Each structure stands twice: as structure tokens, then as C-alpha cells.
Structure 1
Amino acid sequence: MTSTKSLSGNAGAAPVETPLSAHQQARILAEAIPHLILYDEKTVVIKFGGNAMGDEELFKAFAQDIVYLKQSGINPIVVHGGGPQIGSMLQKLAIKSDFVNGLRVTDKPTVEIVEMVLCGKINKEIVSAINRQGGKAVGISGKDANLMIAKKITEMPDPQSNEMQKVDIGFVGDPLEVNPHIVEVISKSDLIPVIAPVAISREGETLNVNADTFASALAARMQAKRLLLLTDVSGVLDQNKKLIPSLSIEEARDMIKSGAISGGMIPKIEGCIEVVEAGVEGVVVIDGRVPHCVLLELFTEHGVGTLVKRAERKRGKT
């Protein structure tokens, strides 16, 4: 067993391996084992994207984490994004791309590119990365076995008034029905499902679904023990820019109301609240720039992100 400087949270530093003493190894195992027992045979949905997807070392560390979870008796389910890669491909093909309230306007040519990039490129890259680390990953999308049936988004809240207004953003969907049978079959075997957030409408149309939204709907339907949202931020910060390790639903709502949580973090935390209220035990906004952030979150006492739970408790994992 080795220790790396990158595991201390310095994502920019090159990993420097140093041997751990027997005492250090025992301490690490003693801290991890209760959490291993807690998550045994439980489902953990992990939304993967952002900075970690474009960094070779972070990508490798993530793949290792997923394999370790499966080998430890946990059922990891990976849902991935791919916004930057989609944007890059659209730019190469000279296809204009606009956004409304953070969602990509997706016409017919664009949705074809979205499906190609998400399902044909990114999904298989993640599958291959996990397999190279000794796992057995299988790539699917929300269209397989009608996993995710969605409806076109036709109205959204106005940023100023927050009142609903009609919009036409093309083939962009919101989850309508989740049929997790295919994921359950895969997870009960030695395979690891890796899911592209492309859904199907009742009319048979391909719809692009935001990866956070897709992962949240799937976690809620499967009553996952945890939903982990890997992001490019540390989590929710207090007024002194220090990480807030955990929030109850009530505390999170108060912080949104007071303005302590603002900007792009508002919809993310509102989504966390909805998922917890739907039955998921806890949702964590994690800094995906930290190597092995998934293992650190699940198997250490303090984690590496902000945990949103129904009840106010100390940061322990119970």
C-alpha cells in the first residue's frame, strides 16, 4: 500500500508514491472497514463528468475507484456527461450551439451529434478505462430497454421572475419514467453499468437529458444509498470560503433563501433536496478534481464534498 501527495487534495501535483508503515496501513483499514460494511450490497449512483473526464490521471483514478467499489461488494452505477466534448465536436462540424438556462438547444442535427459523442465515444472510453483497471464494465444509454423515458422540455422558469415560461429548445428531455430492470440485471452480476444520458420519448424521439438530472432520477427510482455528483467545485462553501461538510434539507433551503448558496450551485442543491426527499439516503456534491474522490467520500469519516441528507447530523456516513 502506498500514499500519494495527490490524495491529500492537491490535484495539480504529480503523484509521489511513498510506502506506508504497517501502523498507517492498519489505521487506514480501521477507518475504512466500517464504511465497507455500511455500503455492502448497496447501490451507489455516481455522476461522472467535468474536469476529471479530461485529465488522464484523474480519469484513471476514477476508473480504479469504480473497480474497487465493485470488488468490495458495492453496486456502483456510473452516469456520465460530456458537454465539452459535444461542444468541441459541434464546433468542428460548424454547427452553432446555444444555451437556455444552462441547457443546450438541441435541434435534429445536434441531437444526432450528442448521441454519437455520448454513446459512441465517451461511454466507450469510460467502459475501456474501467476494464483496463480490472473491472467488467458495460456501456448502455437511457434508450436501452426503455431505461429512461423522457418528455420534451417545453417550459422553464424565467431567471428574473422565476415564473414558468414557454420555451423551444428542441430535443432536450426531462425524465418521465425510469425502468431500471436492465441496470438491476447488470448490477446483480459482476458487471458495472456505465450509462449515457440519452433518453427516448413515448413517440420514439431521441432526447438529450442533463446528466445530473438523469443520475438523480435513476438514483431516486432505485432508492440508492448514495448519489455522488462529481463537479469542478469543492462543494458548498461558507462565508469564509470553507467547505461545509454536511447540510440538512432545512439548512440547505435556508442557505438558498438567504443567498448563502447562489448562482449555479442553487439548481444543483435544489436537485439534491428533491432526490433526498424521493428516498435516496444522501446526495453528495464532490470535488472531482481530487484524485480518488469517490473512495475518499465513501470510505473516510469526513469525505471530500458536501453531503445533503434529510436529518441534521455530524458528517459520519451513517
Structure 2
Amino acid sequence: MTLEREAAANTAKVLSEALPYIRRYVGKTLVIKYGGNAMESEELKTGFARDIVLMKAVGINPVVVHGGGPQIGDLLKRLSIESHFVDGMRVTDAATMDVVEMVLGGQVNKSIVNLINRHGGSAIGLTGKDAGLIRAKKLTVSRQTPEMTQPEIIDIGHVGEVVGINTELLNLLVKGNFIPVIAPIGVGENGESYNINADLVAGKVAEALKAEKLMLLTNIAGLMDKSGTVLTGLSTQQVDDLIADGTIYGGMLPKIRCALEAVQGGVGSSLIIDGRVPNAILLEIFTDTGVGTLISNRKRP
């Protein structure tokens, strides 16, 4: 067999394997949290945009929620604004919030929208302030040590949590064949802006839309056991057990809890995927093996 025929045969095999999955997900909504390493490599950025456009072209409805922590940190540094973190969350005073809105709602959001549109998509950039898309309130953070008689309340500024999602707007865009690209900036009842963790926003958007999948792109291969093996096909009970025995800890806890809450809130399944892998999204939804860690109330199809 010539190299050309072998390549054609491999392409046909891939398409044949993908067909049942395309049929399964036609008309379904998938929420993808995009961030980390996948946003830094030009090759990975291009691949992500093409994957999103392909999903829309075959009848799947992607909704993108993006982060931008490194870009925010870079601009704050150039402006000589010092960054402070509490429990992994950036303390966001008024000056920092201005930078967050500038970077997330402007620079990063419009860059992703432009990239998707250049590859044939029809993306529309949004922040939570557009039509009250992400209604939010101030996040309360407290700490308590054995010596304290009551918890200490820590003010971390304009950091918020999601109160509600305007699904009417998102459904209107999806039905109009657009691809929503959402910056995780929420709006309070008095119009104040809030900086919200992108994973949490993606999870709440997925819950509100009753999405088929929530896909969290990250910079690790997936959730690993204590021997370093990637775990997948986990039930919500198994995830609870892994948290209880200490397998899941530290920085992975918020991401896992977000994925878990989405499934418990009605999302078909949540996935933690290595965004450093080219075409990671397509490998997960269109192949028999998939990649990363899947959490659901049912087995992988």
C-alpha cells in the first residue's frame, strides 16, 4: 500500500470510528473551559479553534468559558500592581478589577473570538455583564484555627461566586448558530463587577444549560491515583471516596469539586482533560478510548 493510500485508509478509519459519537452528540451542548497551556502555544491555540469550529459544523453546540490568570498577572506586573492570593484566589481590589476586566473581557476574549472566526466559526464574545449573563455576589472567605473562638472573615475584594446564569441569552445564540465565548466576570445586583474562577463559571453554565458534557482543559494528564495512573470512568461516589482517602488534595480539589457538582447538578458527565495534547477535545468526544478523567453517573458509552 502506498503512503497516500495508507493515509487515506487511516482517515476513513478515524471518520468511521467518530460517526457513532457524532450521532450521539448532534444537537447537544458541550461546555468547554479553555485556559492554561492550551492558551499559550500557537499550535495548540489554532488546534483548539479548529476543533471548536468542527464541533459546530457537525451539529454539536460548544460553549466556551475561558480563563486568563497568567495574562492578568503579566499586566499587573507591568503596571507595578502587586498580586496577593488567598487560598489560590487573587485578591482583587478596585485597581486589580479594572485590569481583570481589561484583560479577560478585552484582550483574551477577543483574541479567542477572532481565532475561532478566522477558522470559519461564528463566535461572539461575552462577559457576565452582557445582559446579566453571570449574576454574582461577593465571595466570603473565612479561616479558623483551633485557637480561634470564631472564624476570621478575610476580605479578598471583588472576587465573586455565581448566583445565576442567563440561559435565555445563551440559548438564543446557540440556536442562531453562534459560538458563545464567555469571560468569567460576574455582575452584582448593584452593577458591581466580580472576578470569578473560570472553572466555577464553566460548571455553573453547564448546569444551567443541562449540558451533555463539561470539559475542563488543564495542564495535567488527568486525575491520578497515588501510583501516578490516570483514573477515568469514575462515579460521583468514587470521587467522594478519593477525596476522603486523600488521593485528591490541594490544587486539584477545587477543579474536581467543580466537575462533581456539575454532574450532581444535571450535567451528563464532567471531564478533566490535558490541554497540552493536540486535538484533546476531539480525542475525548470522537474516539473509543478518550483522554483524561471522566466523572459521571453512568459508564463511558
Common fold by TM > 0.5: yes
Q: Matched residues in 1 for 2:151 and 2:200: separation?
A: 19
Identical counterparts, % of pairs:
46
Report the 3-state secondary structure (helix = DSSP H, G, I; strand = E; otherwise coil) of the residue aligned with 2:278. coil
Residue number in structure 1 paired with 2:133: 147
Amino acid at match of 1:287: D
Residue number in structure 2 paired with 1:200: 187
CA offset at residue 148 of structure 1?
Answer: 0.7
Partner residue of 2:68 out of 71, 79, 82: 82
Q: Give TM-score, length-normalised by structure 1.
A: 0.89
Q: Deviations over 1:232-263 (max 9, x none)?
A: 11111123312112211111111111111222
Amino acid at match of 1:169: I
Q: Matched residues in 2 for 1:223 and 1:295: separation?
A: 21
Amino acid at match of 1:115: E
Partner residue of 1:98 out of 84, 88, 93: 84
Q: Deviations over 1:171-229 (max 9, x none)?
A: 01000111121111111112111111111001110111110011111100110000000
Q: Give TM-score, length-normalised by structure 2.
A: 0.94
- The answer to whether structure 1 residue 243 and structure 2 residue 230 are counterparts is yes
CA offset at residue 165 of structure 1?
Answer: 4.7
CA offset at residue 157 of structure 1?
Answer: 5.9
Q: Gaps spanning 5+ residues in structure 2: where?
A: none
Report the 3-state secondary structure (helix = DSSP H, G, I; strand = E; otherwise coil) of the residue aligned with 1:78. strand
Q: Matched residues in 2 for 1:92 and 1:58: separation?
A: 26
Count of residues paired in the alignment: 297
- The answer to whether structure 1 residue 302 and structure 2 residue 289 are counterparts is yes
CA offset at residue 113 of structure 1?
Answer: 0.5
Partner residue of 1:177 out of 150, 161, 164: 164
CA offset at residue 158 of structure 1?
Answer: 5.6
Q: Gaps spanning 5+ residues in structure 1: where?
A: 1-16
Distance change in 2, residues 1:244/1:210 (3 Å): same
Q: Matched residues in 2 for 1:108 and 1:160: separation?
A: 33
Partner residue of 1:166 out of 153, 161, 165: 153
Residue number in structure 2 paired with 1:33: 19
User: What is the correspondence of 1:7-22 to structure 2 with a 5 Å cutoff?
Assistant: 20-22=6-8
Q: Matched residues in 1 for 2:112 and 2:146: separation?
A: 39
Residue number in structure 2 paired with 1:228: 215
Amino acid at match of 1:200: V
Report the 3-state secondary structure (helix = DSSP H, G, I; strand = E; otherwise coil) of the residue aligned with 2:248. coil
Amino acid at match of 1:244: L
Contact 2:105–2:126, Cα closer than 8 Å, also in 1: yes
Distance change in 2, residues 1:96/1:222 (3 Å): same
Moved over 6 A (4+): none
Report the 3-state secondary structure (helix = DSSP H, G, I; strand = E; otherwise coil) of the residue aligned with 1:21. helix
Distance change in 2, residues 1:146/1:65 (3 Å): same
What value does the CA root-mean-square deviation take over the aligned residues? 1.9
CA offset at residue 39 of structure 1?
Answer: 0.5
